[in-house]
Amino acid sequence: MTATENHPNKETVISIRDVKKSFGDYDVLRGADLDLYRGENLVVLGRSGTGKSVLIKIIAGLLTQDSGSVKVLGQAVDEISGKELIKLRLRVGFSFQNSALYDSMTVRKNLEFPLVRNQKNLTKAEINKATESVLDAVGLLQTINQMPSELSGGQRKRIGIARTLILQPEIMLYDEPTAGLDPITCIEINNLINEVKERYKTSSIIITHDLTCAKHVGDRVAMLLDGSFERVGTFEEVFDTDDERVKPFYDYNFID
Amino acid sequence: MFLELYRVHQFIKKFFIEAIAPPYEGREILRQCYQVGYKSLALISLTGFITGIVFAKQSRPSLAEFGATSWLPSLVGIALLRTLAPLLTALISAGKVGSSIGAELGSMKVSEQIDAMEVSATNPFKYLVVSRVLATTISIPILTFYTAFVGLLGGFLNITSSESTSFSTYIQTSLESITFLDITSSTIKAIVFGFTIGMVGCYQGYNSSKGTEGVGKAANSAVVIGMFLVFIEEVIATQITFLFRT
Ligand SMILES: Nc1ncnc2c1ncn2[C@@H]1O[C@H](COP(=O)(O)OP(=O)(O)OP(=O)(O)O)[C@@H](O)[C@H]1O
Ligand SMILES: [Mg+2]
């Protein structure tokens, strides 16, 4: 069982090979390998500070790896031109750990922003329809005229997800979608992630600490340990181990 | 230090590339112009007016020594237009507008809003930086002439309190002594000041470090560096206009 095991009949949409990244003399990623297949939800687990956010920022081209290759939809993110990167980014949605809503704009303006700026030929009615449709998909139609500061953490997360969905991406990258939320809201977000997969046919990477979430949404699980993905597979496969770095995750979540 | 200079150079280069390439952010630029004017108008009116009064009052005794108080309107006009108005406007804008640009972009950077724009392919540099820098470059010259006008009013208030002149003769005498060179050099100077203030605020905000501390630092250095550069540019501009005058 390795991270890059061949699945002959599955198309790879993200392929990460031997990626290394350091900040100063701290080696965060030390040769990470990972594949995301079309149509799957891949959960990435790992302790705080192991570089999970760094990894998906590299995938989205916000950071650049020191070495190794990152291919998204067949294109090397760090090598393509600015124009191609913009095109690629339209196909990849990124939901931030802290939601990153534009706090000077209403919810409506937040959602419209990527659309208005990318597709100049849309009519007002089309924009409104798209906005309301994604807002409905996350169940927050009533907040449309509110400011982000008036929303709860869970609502902000969902608006953040809606804002990335509006461009109908093929790939979704979720950074800790359920962190800091109550169990019921977590379940709602988990359901939302699954719904997004069904409704928009996305392939997703979901970063989380929350094993319930991992079990609920993950088709596969990858565990980031000491800078590389040592354990990748189904939920049961990954946790069928005595590794002292892995067991506490499971024990904390499922044993009282 | 050299790395920093290189980064500033890259930032300015990127500004010109993005500013020239369509599409243009007309509405956003207008909105930012309004912000710049709105933020500094009250303070500029007050300071401009007071400066006019004080300058006229302070200059009167020295002119009286030579029996040349009739020159007072011209002196007020020239001083305001050549130096006082551009410098006052720029310093106040550096404080009010520069700091708020630095803080606004800084907090957007820190809360990853700029990254969020980046990943949704919306070119944050163009939307945030280009529009703000163009807005300050356009509005600060306009504000400068406004300040000069308000300052003239202040000067008039002082002059009428001791002698009877009509407003129109006052304005006429003060404008008569102003040359085309004065107007052009002040306009160019104000454009440069405006560009500098917008650029410094944006650069500091856009490159602010993580954490709330970074936001405060960005706002603070936007003001300090902005004012410092404005003074340096003033000195250089004065040297250059002297070359033209002689
Ligand atoms: N821009 C940056 N500059 C310097 N160091 C950074 C930067 N981004 C991340 N790091 C460092 O990289 C390490 C990994 O950070 P990362 O945010 O990826 O952790 P994480 O796995 O997402 O943790 P968490 O679960 O707490 O979100 C951290 O030690 C962090 O200090
Ligand atoms: Mg993280």
Restricting to B residues 119-138, those with a Cβ less than 8 Å away from any Cβ of A are 119-123, 127
Q: Give me ligand 1 centre to Cα B24, in Å.
A: 36
Percent of chain A that is helix, strand, coil (3-state, to 5): 40, 25, 35
| Closest residue of chain B to A119, computed from CA coordinates | B122
Is the same domain home to A49 and A103?
no
Is the same domain home to A229 and A213?
yes
Q: What is the pairing mode between strands A228-233 and A220-225? A: antiparallel
Per the CB < 8 A criterion, the answer to whether B150 and B42 are in contact is: no
**Domain of A158?**
99-168
Pick from B104, B108, B119: CB nearest A60:
B119
Task: Tell me the C-alpha to C-alpha distance, in Å, between residue A3 and each of A15, A29, A232, B72.
Answer: 10, 15, 5, 84
Provide mean pLDDT across the span A220-235: 86
A chain contacts of residue B104, beta-carbon cutoff 8 Å: 104
pLDDT band at A7 (very low <50, low <70, confident <90, very high): low
| Residues B220-238: tens digit of each pLDDT | 999 999 999 999 999 999 8
Out of A52, A207, A210, mutate this one to test ligand 1's pocket (max ligand atoms within 8 Å of CB): namely A52
What is the side-by-side strand order in the sheet with A26-37? A26-37, A12-23, A67-72, A75-76
A140, A168, A196 - which closes a domain: A168
pLDDT band at A226 (very low <50, low <70, confident <90, very high): confident
Q: Has residue A1 got a pLDDT over 50?
A: no
Provide mean pLDDT across the span B82-95: 92
pLDDT band at A8 (very low <50, low <70, confident <90, very high): low
Phi/psi of residue A195, each to 5°?
-65, -45
A168, A184, A207 - which closes a domain: A168
User: Which residues lie closer than 8 Å to B223 by C-beta, 6 or more apart?
Assistant: B94, B95, B98, B99, B102
Q: What is the mean pLDDT of chain B?
A: 89
Is the same domain home to A104 and A187?
no
Is the same domain home to A143 and A249?
no
| Residues A134-146: tens digit of each pLDDT | 898 888 889 999 9
Asked if B187 has any chain A CB less than 8 Å from its own CB, the reply is no
pLDDT band at B122 (very low <50, low <70, confident <90, very high): confident
Residue at token pair 């404008």: B175
| Residues A53-101: tens digit of each pLDDT | 999 999 999 999 999 899 999 889 888 888 889 889 999 999 998 889 9
Per the CB < 8 A criterion, the answer to whether B19 and B134 are in contact is: yes
The enclosing H or E element of A12 equals: strand A12-23
Residue ranges per domain, chain B?
26-245
- Give the number of the ligand closest to the Cα of residue A29: 1
The answer to whether the predicted template modeling score (pTM) of the entire model surpasses 0.80 is yes
Provide mean pLDDT across the span A210-221: 87
Is the same domain home to A54 and A154?
no
pLDDT band at A119 (very low <50, low <70, confident <90, very high): confident
> At A30, which CATH number?
3.40.50.300
A152, A168, A184 - which closes a domain: A168
Number of domains in chain A: 2
- Give the number of the ligand closest to the Cα of residue A50: 1
Nearest CA to ligand 1 atom 5: A23
**Contact (CB<8Å) A117/B123:** yes
Q: What is the mean pLDDT of chain A?
A: 86
Is the same domain home to A84 and A140?
no
Is the same domain home to A83 and A2?
yes
Per the CB < 8 A criterion, the answer to whether A205 and A174 are in contact is: yes
Is the same domain home to A79 and A107?
no
Is the same domain home to A121 and A4?
no
Is the same domain home to A132 and A211?
no
- Per-residue pLDDT at B161: 81
C-alpha torsion A94→A98→A103→A107, nearest 10: 60
User: Which residues lie closer than 8 Å to A122 by C-beta, 6 or more apart?
Assistant: A115, A116, A130
Q: Looking at the predicted complex, does its ipTM rise above 0.90?
A: no
Pick from A61, A98, A104: CB nearest B112:
A98
Amino acid at A230: E
> What does the alpha-carbon distance between residue A168 and residue B75 come to, in Å, rounded to a whole number?
65
- Per-residue pLDDT at B145: 93
**Contact (CB<8Å) A86/B115:** no
Task: Tell me the C-alpha to C-alpha distance, in Å, between residue B135 and each of A173, B117, B127, B186.
Answer: 36, 21, 12, 18
Provide mean pLDDT across the span A40-50: 89
> What does the alpha-carbon distance between residue B14 and residue B20 come to, in Å, rounded to a whole number?
10
Question: Which residues sit with their C-beta closer than 6 Å to ligand 1?
Answer: A 23, 28, 46, 48-54, 97
Q: Has residue B207 got a pLDDT over 80?
A: yes
Phi/psi of residue A217, each to 5°?
-105, -20
